[in-house]
């Protein structure tokens, strides 16, 4: 299945039903009076979260949604039937924007939101009867529905976001610490869509991790896969910078700085999130060389990294423990607010 995380859709709620002009006609009931009922309400457009969905792909193929009109009122003060709403199901974490103004209408992590209401039904002539006007022949048309173009944008909900250069080992890492099984290969941009995994290890509280396609220098200009996938780590509480140590991965310090620079160009808020750095593929270096790399990294960046190997599991438990502790503290701060 293709991963679609941003679409435009046109929605239009239904018009209300017209009110009815009717008079009571029964034997032995002269001048029965007006009894025209009101029209029914037009159909609403509702956006509802569905935890079984993980992409907006359904809206790539159908982009227009029009609700039905409410039914006309009837005699004997019968109110017309309301039209059924149209429900658009989206993954949790979907943001809904007004395409014309760019205004955020709702950030749906759960529940539902009525984005446009159906038109009110028109009043029948029974509603216009007064002591001085006992036989009105007046009714109202139903209120028109409302139309607008929406932008649906999905931001995955995860506790930890894994970022790094292509081939840093993000997919391998997420496959080792969770049940996720992303594609793994020895060429750049193996990850073409974000992957989610739930981490449960030892006594640590479970948390959700997401890895995004690799960033390269100039991603903000569209180089490589660009950096629009970074929206999926905007909700995270912790960023894990994964830096590869293989000969073809380049200088670890420069790789780390490149990714941070691209994140800052995308959204400065990302650069101030709690973060952890892990130097991956430690199994490819001997202890002496690994020690030199670690000292250089600390001296140049001021950050103490974790030394890990997603391939053979080295250092993963301490890393997961640190991430779990940071996620737990973030949740406690949220509970206190």
Residues 115-142 as b/e (b if ≥16 CB within 10 A, e otherwise) read bbbbbbbbbbbbbbbeeeeeebeebbbb
Task: Indicate the DSSP class of residue 126.
Answer: G
Alpha-carbon distance of 192 to 183, in angstroms, equals 9
pLDDT exceeds cutoff 80 at 271: no
pLDDT, position 3: 52
| Higher-scoring residue by pLDDT: 81, 162 | 81
- Does 132 have pLDDT greater than 80? yes
Closest CA to 68 of 40, 38, 88: 40
Q: What is the pLDDT of residues 229-261, one digit of tens each?
A: 566 677 788 999 999 999 888 899 999 998 888
Terminal-to-terminal C-alpha distance of the chain? 39
| Residue 153 CB contacts under 8 Å (≥ 6 apart), including other chains | 5, 6, 94, 95, 97, 231
Q: Quick check: 305 pLDDT over 50?
A: yes
- Taking residues 113-126, report their average pLDDT: 96
Q: Which of 59-63, 66-70, 100-104, 277-281 has the lowest mean pLDDT?
A: 59-63
Are residues 71 and 17 in contact, defined by beta-carbon separation less than 8 angstroms?
Answer: yes
- Residue 189 has a pLDDT of 36
What is the pLDDT averaged over residues 176-198? 55
66 and 88 in contact (C-beta within 8 Å)? no
Would you say residue 147 has pLDDT above 80? yes
Show Cβ contacts of residue 79 under 8 Å, excluding neighbours closer than 6 positions.
37, 38, 39, 40, 73, 121
Question: In order of start, what are the domains of the chain with their CATH numbers?
Answer: 1-154 (2.70.210.12), 160-336 (3.40.50.300)
Give me the DSSP letters along 147-202. EEEEEEEE----SEEEEESTTSSHHHHHHHHSS------SSTT---S-EEEEE--T
Closest to 213 (Cα-Cα) out of 190, 196, 235, 179: 190
- Quick one: residue 56, left, alpha or beta (phi over 0 = left, psi -120 to 50 = alpha)? alpha
Packing angle of the helix pair 252-266, 287-301 (nearest 10 deg): 40
Vertex 180, ends 200 and 49: CA angle to 5°? 90
How far, in Å, CA of 283 to CA of 273, rounded?
29
What is the band of 27 on the pLDDT scale with cuts at 50, 70, 90? confident
Rounded Cα gap, residues 151 and 101, in angstroms:
11
pLDDT at 184 over 50: no
124 near 22, Cβ under 8 Å?
A: yes
Which residues make Cβ contacts (< 8 Å) with residue 22, sequence separation at least 6? 34, 35, 36, 37, 74, 75, 76, 124, 125, 126
- Residue pLDDT, tens place only, 282-294: 999 999 999 999 9
The fraction of the chain above a pLDDT of 90, given in percent, is 50
pLDDT in tens, 85-111: 999 999 888 999 999 999 999 999 889
Strand order in the sheet with 45-49: 86-90, 45-49, 112-116
C-alpha 104/C-alpha 98 separation (Å) is 7
Q: Across residues 182-210, what is the average pLDDT?
A: 59
- pLDDT at 56 > cutoff 70: yes
Q: Would the pTM of this model clear 0.75, i.e. be above it?
A: no
Quote the pLDDT of residue 220: 42
The helix (H) or strand (E) run that includes residue 292 is helix 287-301
Of 219-228, 270-279, 297-306, the one with minimum mean pLDDT is: 219-228
């Amino acid at each position: 299945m293709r991963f679609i995380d941003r679409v435009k859709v046109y929605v239009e709620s239904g018009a209300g039903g017209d009110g009815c002009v009717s008079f009571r006609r029964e034997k032995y009931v002269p001048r029965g009076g007006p009894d025209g009922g009101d029209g029914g309400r037009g159909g609403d457009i509702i956006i509802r979260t569905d935890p079984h969905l993980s992409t907006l792909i359904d809206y790539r193929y159908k982009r227009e949604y029009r609700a039905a009109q409410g039914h006309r009122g009837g005699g004997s003060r019968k109110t017309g039937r309301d039209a059924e709403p149209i429900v658009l199901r989206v993954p949790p974490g979907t943001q809904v924007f007004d395409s014309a103004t760019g205004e955020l209408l709702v950030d749906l992590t759960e529940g539902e939101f009525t984005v446009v209401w159906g038109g009110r039904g028109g009043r029948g002539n029974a509603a216009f009867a007064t002591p001085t006007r006992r036989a009105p022949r007046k009714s109202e048309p139903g209120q028109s529905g409302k139309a607008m173009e929406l932008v649906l944008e999905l931001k995955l909900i995860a506790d930890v976001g894994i970022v790094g250069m292509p081939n840093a080992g993000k997919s391998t890492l997420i496959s080792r610490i969770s049940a996720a099984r992303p594609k793994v290969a020895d060429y750049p941009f193996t990850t073409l869509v974000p992957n989610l995994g739930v981490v449960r290890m030892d006594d640590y509280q479970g948390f959700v991790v997401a890895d995004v396609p690799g960033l390269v220098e100039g991603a903000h200009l569209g180089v490589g896969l660009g950096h629009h996938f970074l929206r999926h780590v905007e909700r995270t509480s912790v960023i894990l910078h994964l830096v590869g140590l293989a000969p073809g991965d380049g200088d670890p310090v420069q790789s780390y700085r490149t990714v941070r620079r691209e994140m800052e160009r995308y959204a400065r808020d990302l650069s101030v999130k709690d973060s952890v750095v892990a130097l991956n593929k430690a199994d490819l270096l001997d202890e002496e060389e690994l020690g030199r790399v670690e000292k250089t990294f600390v001296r140049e960046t001021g950050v103490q990294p974790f030394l890990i190997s997603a391939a053979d599991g080295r250092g993963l438990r301490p890393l997961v423990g640190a991430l779990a502790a940071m996620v737990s503290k973030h949740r406690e701060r949220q509970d206190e607010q």
